[in-house]
Amino acid sequence: MSAVTKEQVFDWLSEVLDPEIPVLSITDLGIVRDVVIDDRVTVTLTPTYSGCPATEVIEQSVAHALRDHGLDNATIKRTLSPPWTTDWISEEGREKLRQYGIAPPAEPAGKRVLLDSGRSIACPRCESTKTSLVSEFGSTACKASYRCEACLEPFEYFKCI
Partner 1 sequence: MTGQDALLSYILRLGDNALVIGQRMIERVTGEPELEEELANANFALDYIGQARMFYAYAGELEGKGRGEDDFAYLRDGQEFRNFLMVEQPNGHFGDAIVRQVLFESFYLLQLEKLIDCADTRLAEIAARAVKEIRYHLRHASQWLIRLGDGTDESHERVNTSLGQFWRYAGEFFHGDDVDDLIAQEFDGPDLVSLARSWRASVESVLKQATLSIPDDTFDQTAFSKAGGRAGMHSEYFGFLIAEMQHLQRAFPGANW
Which positions touch partner 1 (CB under 8 A)? Answer: 47, 49-53, 80-83, 85, 109, 111, 114-115, 134-138, 140-141, 159, 161
- Report the nearest approach of partner 1 to the CB of residue 46 (Å): 9
Helices (H), the chain: 6-13, 26-29, 54-68, 91-100, 111-115
Q: What length is written for the chain?
A: 161
- Report the nearest approach of partner 1 to the CB of residue 114 (Å): 5
- Report the nearest approach of partner 1 to the CB of residue 81 (Å): 4
**Complex with partner 1: residue 47 or 104, whichever CB lies closer:** 47
**Complex with partner 1: residue 12 or 84, whichever CB lies closer:** 84
Burial 120-152 (b: 16+ CB within 10 A, else e): ebbbbeeeeeebeeeeeebebebbbebbbeeee
